Structure formats: structure tokens, C-alpha cells
Structure 1
Amino acid sequence: MYVPGRWLLRFPLFKDGGGSGAREDDDERELFDTWRFNEGRVLEIERPIRLSMKPAGVALEFSEAMGIPIVHRRVVSLFERLGLQKEVQFIPVEVEGQTQPWFILNALQVIRCVDDARCDEVFYWGPEDGEPDRVGEYRNVRGLKVDPAKIGRAHIFRPWGWLVVLIVSEHVKSAMEAEGITGIKFLEV
């Protein structure tokens, strides 16, 4: 979401333990796998994670860094009040220049719910694409629509096959808006 003067969070990095002698960013980037935050499972993080920002600017309570949701403590408190502790994991992160607590929001559910027929366009990986492990998976989804009957009572999740989006229920959307969480943008799916 565009907010004038907002911060731009950079690639999440493991906090340097020291002693490697190599450039810190090279070592840390090699060790950090951002895709694991899209798998819908509890993660054990061995080392502290830190985020820098460039440019520095107005902090948003909901931001992304390389597609990973970064949230302020207010979001964590809201989700706790909503009783969503079993649907999300909040992983503490250090944000450059910030003293308040920040967290990675890790959604713990992946649900097979994309409604191919209602989406604007759906493209699949084929044998000709040279990615044999991905044949039959989504390559691109435009105008995403989900089948509500397949979602059940989930309030926050990623859709199977199109893990680049985070979906929340109307209940969560309304609560975030009522709370005045900054940086959020919702599209109906």
C-alpha cells in the first residue's frame, strides 16, 4: 500500500554472530530462506533476524520484506484477542532504528481453495517449462478467487499453489480496520 514517506524494509538477515571474516550481508543472505515462511508450518528459528530499511521513513504496523509480513506488536495483540494463536506464529525481529517490538507473521495454514473457474486467468507449469517438479502447479494466477466452501473456519492462511498471497477472513479484516492498523490493503477474493 502506498503511504507517502513510508519505510521500505529490506531483505531479512540473520543477525551476525561474528567471526566469519566475510562480508556480513553475503553470509546472512546465503543462510536465510524466505520461502519457508510460505509453507504453513511452525518454524524453529535458530538465530535472531534483523531488518534494515532503505529509505528510512514512517513505520507501518503491517509491512512486507521480500513478501514476508512484518507486523508491529499491536497486530500481535489484536490476533491474540481474536483467538488466532493456532493459526499464526509470530517470530521476533529487530528492525533497524526501532525500539518497539516487531514480528514476522507466519501463517500456519495452507488451504487448497483456489477456484480456477472464477479466477480471471490461471496458468500452470507444463513439461515444456523445464521445471519437472512443478508440472501441474500454478505458474500465475490473475484475479484470484477462492472457493469459500473449502476454507472452513480458517481466519488466516495462504492458498495452496499460490503461496505469494496471504488471505484473511472478513472477521480479521474488519478487526484490523477497526483497530486502525497502518499499512494494510485488502482485495476481495
Structure 2
Amino acid sequence: MTLRYFELSEDVQAGTWYLGDPVDEQGQEVDDPWQFRAGRPVSVTGRLTVPIDQQGRALDFSTAGVGLAPVVHVKVASVFAELAPEDVQFIPVRIQGMPDQYVILVATKCILCIDEQASAVQFWTAEDGLPEKVGKYYAVDDLHIDVKKVGTTKVFRTEGWKIALIVSEDIKLALERIRATGVRFTPV
């Protein structure tokens, strides 16, 4: 049986909260808000706080600020800890006014696996005026991956298009079983 994978993203709906970029103990935004989706372990000093930029219904899975850091309730984190302990890192965060515990979910692996023939990909060109980006992905729509390149990894980012957070079908089913809010799954 072939393993199936899904892109996990926030199911944005009216009336739900919008989280800002994490801040350190001095209230300063973290230097690199994109580090949490880089597909590698991160090192954080001190306790982070995630501000609520727009009040609304709390979600079990959200993406925070410009960096789109995945912020998850501990019940969601426990699914990842049980099913993919080698693929994730958890960074405890405080969310202002929330008694529940949340963590930033970091996928610690990045895999070169985008199936460019099956996906709708666009590349940066010399005409775009950014020579350092020429040949890299500009956009990846209708993302598909080559599962043969994934191995036993269950949670990862896609090399070259790190905005995509990919999870295996067993994680998808477990999150559906616990009725996690804020999750949207797109087959890849």
C-alpha cells in the first residue's frame, strides 16, 4: 500500500483568531520569523509569546504572523509526538489570555520531493530582476510530491517550497479523530 500525504494548512474562517509573530521575553519580535518553517531544528532562548493580533475563536492549529509558524494546542502536539517523534520539535509558547498550552510545531526535515511534472510550478527568471532567485520556485500550485523520495518521514517541509507542511495520512486521520480545529488537508 502506498502511503498518502497531505499538505496541512490553516483553515481560515471568519470569527477565528489571527496570531502575530512570536515575541521574546523583552517583547521584541524574533529576528527570523521564517525559521519555524525552514525544515530544520531551531534554537530558541527564553520563553516566546505569541500575540493575538485579531481576537476570535481559538483554534487547535493556526499559523502565526508573517512567518506562518504553526502554533498548535498540546492535544495536536501529542498526536505528532506519538506518530512522528523523529520529525518534529516543539517550542512552548504563551498565548496572551489563554489558559491552555500551545507550542510552535517545527518540522525538522526538508525533503527534495516536489514532482514538477505533476505540479503547477513557476520559476524565477532573469527578467524578474533577482539574480539570486533565478531557477528557484516562484510559485507551486497544485502541489504533488514523489512519495518514493520521502522514505519513512511523516512530517516535513518540501525543499525549495518550504511554505508547504506535509503530513502522512495516519497523522491526518488522528487529527480528524480528535476533531482538531483549524486544520485543512490537501492531497499531494
* Equivalent position of 2:35 in the other structure: 36
Matches within 5 A, 1:50-129: 50-66=49-65, 67-82=68-83, 84-119=84-119, 121-129=120-128
Gaps of 5+ in 2: 1-10
2:163 is paired with a residue whose SS is coil
Pick the structure with greater CA Rg.
1
Q: Which of 2, 5, 8 is matched with 2:18 structurally?
A: 8
Indicate the structure whose relative CO is greater, using CA pairs within 8 Å and at least 6 residues apart: 2
* Equivalent position of 2:160 in the other structure: 161
Paired with 2:41 and 2:180, the residues of 1 have a C-alpha distance of 25
- More divergent stretch after superposition (38-47 vs 70-79): 38-47
**Are residue 132 (structure 1) and residue 131 (structure 2) matched?**
yes
* Equivalent position of 1:49 in the other structure: 48
Query: What do you get for the CA RMSD once the two structures are aligned?
Result: 1.5
Gaps of 5+ in 1: 17-23
* Equivalent position of 2:8 in the other structure: none
Contact 1:13 1:32 in 2 (8 A): no
- More divergent stretch after superposition (104-113 vs 44-53): 44-53
Contact 2:79 2:171 in 1 (8 A): no
What is the percent sequence identity of the aligned residues?
A: 37
Contact 1:14 1:32 in 2 (8 A): no
Contact 2:39 2:162 in 1 (8 A): no
1:122 is paired with a residue whose SS is strand
Please state how far the C-alpha of 1:182 moved relative to its aligned partner: 1.1
Please state how far the C-alpha of 1:4 moved relative to its aligned partner: 4.4
Contact 1:111 1:159 in 2 (8 A): yes
- Greater helix share, 1 or 2? 1
Paired with 1:3 and 1:36, the residues of 2 have a C-alpha distance of 26
Paired with 1:32 and 1:50, the residues of 2 have a C-alpha distance of 14
TM-score after normalising by structure 2: 0.87
